[in-house]
Amino acid sequence: KQEVTQIPAALSVPEGENLVLNCSFTDSAIYNLQWFRQDPGKGLTSLLLIQSSQREQTSGRLNASLDKSSGRSTLYIAASQPGDSATYLCAVTYSGNTPLVFGKGTRLSVIA
Amino acid sequence: GAVVSQHPSRVICKSGTSVKIECRSLDFQATTMFWYRQFPKQSLMLMATSNEGSKATYEQGVEKDKFLINHASLTLSTLTVTSAHPEDSSFYICSARDARGAGNTIYFGEGSWLTVV
């Protein structure tokens, strides 16, 4: 069974700190991997998408890396801000037509 | 950028009635849409894959006669919760695949809160 695991489940940091969220997947034959942000009671916002042939993607203060062979991805957030507080979800897909398989997410709180 | 619209955002219905949730891709054609369900503080659970012009593919344990999915056009898929019960109260989210380019990016709607009383 394809599974996605995210560690830690919850994280609280002071404002300004750099942080790393971890994601691992059991089947390394992924098509691509996406990181999403979800605010309480809201839908998902796509943050970064990494194709299986890529090793990282960057957007502003966010950097996502992918090590396909070891089945791991990390999301690095630089200089965290209270507005970054949300749940971050990692998801993989195994072909161009199959649905995403989600992890349970990491709930991030950035304290001012 | 691509946008997926979901309506209604919140709905309250009486037990035993049916509720329809719409999912629209606003600036791209989506041959495939996905419906997810999310319980509080849990991750998204795939319910079914909706394919335009054909029957939806349901995940194991999801009752196809209770959760009716129709994908009648390339921009619209609907989920109808039939004979709703309080245990159907949940957050339902749709997503649509944008196959343009090489990304096959999936975009999500804002979700629909269903409360059955």
Residue-wise pLDDT for A14-70, tens only, equals: 999 999 999 999 988 999 999 999 998 888 988 999 999 999 999 999 999 999 999
- Between B31 and B15, residue with greater pLDDT: B15
Residue B1 has pLDDT above 70, yes or no: no
pLDDT band at B99 (very low <50, low <70, confident <90, very high): confident
Contact assessment for residue B96 and residue B104, using Cβ atoms and an 8 Å cutoff: no
Beta carbons within 10 angstroms of residue B74's beta carbon: 15
- Identify which of A105, A32, A101, A21 has the alpha carbon closest to the alpha carbon of residue A68: A32
Cβ-based interface (< 8 Å): residues of B facing A: 6, 32, 34, 42-44, 46, 49, 91, 93, 95, 97, 99, 102-111, 113
What residue of B is the nearest CA neighbor of A50? B103
Q: Tell me what the mean pLDDT of segment B56-78 comes to.
A: 93
Q: Do A99 and B93 touch (CB under 8 A)?
A: no
Q: Is the peptide bond before B8 cis (omega within 30 degrees of 0)?
A: yes
pLDDT band at B109 (very low <50, low <70, confident <90, very high): very high
Q: Do A34 and B106 touch (CB under 8 A)?
A: yes
In whole angstroms, what is the distance from residue A14 CA to residue A76 CA?
Answer: 15
In whole angstroms, what is the distance from residue A65 CA to residue A48 CA?
Answer: 10
Q: What's at B79, amino acid-wise?
A: L
What's the angle, vertex CA B32, arms to CA A104 and CA A49, rounded to 5?
Answer: 50
Q: Do A49 and B44 touch (CB under 8 A)?
A: no
Question: Which of B95, B105, B111 is closest, CB to CB, to A42?
Answer: B111
Question: Which of A42, A100, A104 is closest, CB to CB, to B106?
Answer: A100
Question: Which of B104, B105, B108 is closest, CB to CB, to A44?
Answer: B108
Q: Which two tokens mark B17?
A: 């009635």
pLDDT band at B3 (very low <50, low <70, confident <90, very high): confident
Substitution target from B21, B23, B43 for chain A, most A beta carbons within 10 A: B43
**CA separation, residue A70 to residues A28, A96, B14 (Å):** 7, 22, 49
What residue of B is the nearest CA neighbor of A86? B41
In whole angstroms, what is the distance from residue A89 CA to residue A38 CA?
Answer: 7
Q: Tell me what the mean pLDDT of segment A85-97 comes to.
A: 91
- Identify which of A46, A80, A6 has the alpha carbon closest to the alpha carbon of residue B42: A6
CA distance B67 to chain A (A): 18
Q: Tell me what the mean pLDDT of segment B63-88 comes to.
A: 94
Question: Which of B34, B43, B104 is closest, CB to CB, to A96?
Answer: B104
In whole angstroms, what is the distance from residue A31 CA to residue A66 CA?
Answer: 12
Residue B103 has pLDDT above 60, yes or no: no
Mention every residue, 6+ apart, whose C-beta is less than 8 A from residue B29.
Answer: B74, B75
